[in-house]
Amino acid sequence: MVIKEYVTYNQVHKLCQEAAPRILEDFQPQLMIAIGGGGYVPARILRSFLKKSGSPNIPIQAIGLSLYEELPSKHPSGSNTPGQVEAPGTKVTRTQWLDLTSLGEMENLVGKRILIVDEVDDTRTTLEYAVKELEKDVEAARQKLGAKGEKTVFSIFVLHNKNKEKKGLLPDDMLNDNRYLAARTVGDVWICYPWEATDIEEHDELARQQGSK
């Protein structure tokens, strides 16, 4: 049986609030990249808590990534594994990428500190894709500048990290330098985010019951 964990909007709000001081101190982001759709809500909330009085908001660029589990071909060698519900291969599709006309060329990201925001780190496939592709794009821009600019520093914030074997990998230096922050680390549970709730009152009630257990 899959265990469900219900998270309310106010809990999401507080997770962002709680993480903000560390993000400001350690990551000092100059730009957020929200991975949509799940990253939209935490990124918007974070923006409020990252704003320093007198300074403008940290801009958000949204990107859209969809994760398709590649279905295993049936009976690949004549024998099917019973109970095999998850395929080993996965494919990430871009539904939106950075808008360079507004960023004013990718070169503007060279040497910047960029915070990637998503709701959950499940298999890590999407995050690996995002970091790799962004690093590639920015490094190409740095080379175009004659490799003179400083390296762009990426960090990650997610609401929940599932403590499980990951299919995707993040750069060693990102993990070593502590540029990965999950507000909460959970088991391999099914996290029910409020924006997916059909009945938000029932959702909150289930979260409340869970909390009092």
Which residues are catalytic, by number?
Answer: 122
Among 18, 21, 48, 169, binds its own copies (CB under 8 A): 48
Question: Do the beta carbons of residue 80 and residue 71 sit within 8 Å?
Answer: no
Only one of the segments 54-62, 121-129, 134-142, 154-162 lies at the binding site for its own copies (rule: CB under 8 A); that segment is 54-62
Residues in region 60-119 near its own copies by CB under 8 A: 60-62, 64, 94-99, 101-103
Only one of the segments 7-15, 129-137, 151-159, 166-174 lies at the binding site for its own copies (rule: CB under 8 A); that segment is 7-15
Shortest Cβ 119–its own copies spacing (Å): 10
Number of other CB atoms surrounding residue 195 within 10 Å: 14
* Binding positions for its own copies, rule: CB under 8 A: 8-10, 13-14, 17, 34, 36-38, 40-41, 43-45, 47-48, 57, 59-62, 64, 94-99, 101-103, 194-198, 200-201, 204
